[in-house]
Amino acid sequence: MSTLEEADVATRGRIYLAGLKGRRAAVVGLARSGVAAARLLHAVGPGVIATDTKPLDALGRDVRELQALGVGVLVGGMHPEAVQGADLVVVSPGVPLDSPQLEPARVAGVPILGELELGWRAMEADTLAITGTNGKTTTTTLTGALLGEQGRPILIAGNIGTPLAARALDFPADGLAVCEVSSFQLETIETFHPRVAVVLNLTPDHLDRHGSFEAYVAAKARVFLNQTAADCALLNADDEATRALAGRTRATVVWFSRRRALDHGIFVRDGWIVAKLNGAVEQVC
């Protein structure tokens, strides 16, 4: 393992960002996530080259702004040379890991991270991650709104619209990032560690990318990758595929259901969401 990889695994926040100075980074894919990653990397010091297969006119103003900042931009086709000599490659969720653009990095053993992973490493705040096939955006929005009433700084980010990397440098360490995370984003995590991971449901989706439902579920299950018994996995007791994930996490499992009362978990009673976690039933909302 290289020195950069060791630093990547061991640190977050300012220490991690300091380790990037003087390095060369490449960003592959210039949709919203890629632009956020390129901006973050440019702000902390690495030389950055960013690439996308679309022509410049199809990418919009944000990419032109990157050029104005001094970020090297290669567009309008495959540019595997963009990652040659890079110390770090950040890939947008829309770019599959087997893309020919990433081949030089794979051959050279260069770390390939997703924007979610980069944003998480760059910040110091705790994270709550919400994934599943349906309902992610609604649940993430409502969760962020409810938690925001507690007075703690809340960031609603991820696949919902604001990339984590876009706020990583200014979001306070005592805050909480509530992130919608997709299977594409979870493919490229390494150290991403949500204190709470929520899986809402699982039905076949994105099979053109993942190849099979089993591979799709495996990608979703990566949300538990770095959790420990001190963390929480909140799972849907009403969904068969989600129930099966209980055996794939080291975190403490808490179930939720809208169809039946639970001996231990969160469920609906008389039109109210209630929690039975310590023996007594408490009304949530």
DSSP type of residue 14: H
What superfamily in CATH does domain 124-283 come from?
Mur-like, catalytic domain (3.40.1190.10)
pLDDT, mean of residues 228-251: 97
pLDDT at 284: 86
For the chain, percent of residues with pLDDT exceeding 90: 86
Q: How confident is the model at residue 256 (pLDDT cuts 50, 70, 90)?
A: very high
Domain ranges of the chain: 3-117, 124-283
Four-CA torsion 17, 114, 175, 161, nearest 10 degrees:
130
Tell me which long-range contacts 98-101 makes (C-beta under 8 A, separation of at least 24): 99/28, 101/28, 101/51
Whose CA is closest to 40, among 149, 127, 198, 164?
Answer: 164
Distance from C-alpha of 239 to C-alpha of 98, rounded to nearest angstrom: 31
Mean pLDDT of the chain: 93
Whose CA is closest to 11, among 176, 227, 191?
Answer: 191
Question: Which conformational region is residue 85 in: left (phi greater than 0), alpha (psi within -120 to 50 degrees), or beta?
Answer: left
Question: pLDDT tens across 28-50, in order?
Answer: 999 999 999 999 999 998 799 99
User: Tokens 């300012």 identify what position?
Assistant: 14
Q: Known catalytic residues?
A: 136, 159, 206
Crossing angle of helices 32-44 and 61-69, rounded to 10°: 10
Distance from C-alpha of 43 to C-alpha of 145, rounded to nearest angstrom: 30
- Just give the CATH number of 3-117: 3.40.50.720
* CB-based contacts of 78, cutoff 8 Å, min separation 6: 53, 100, 101
The token duo for 47 is 């030389």
pLDDT at 7: 40
pLDDT at 70: 94
Specify the pTM. 0.92
Whose CA is closest to 130, among 60, 43, 235, 59?
Answer: 235
Question: pLDDT tens across 263-284, in order?
Answer: 999 999 988 999 999 888 888 8
Q: How confident is the model at residue 5 (pLDDT cuts 50, 70, 90)?
A: very low
Question: pLDDT tens across 90-101, in order?
Answer: 999 999 999 999
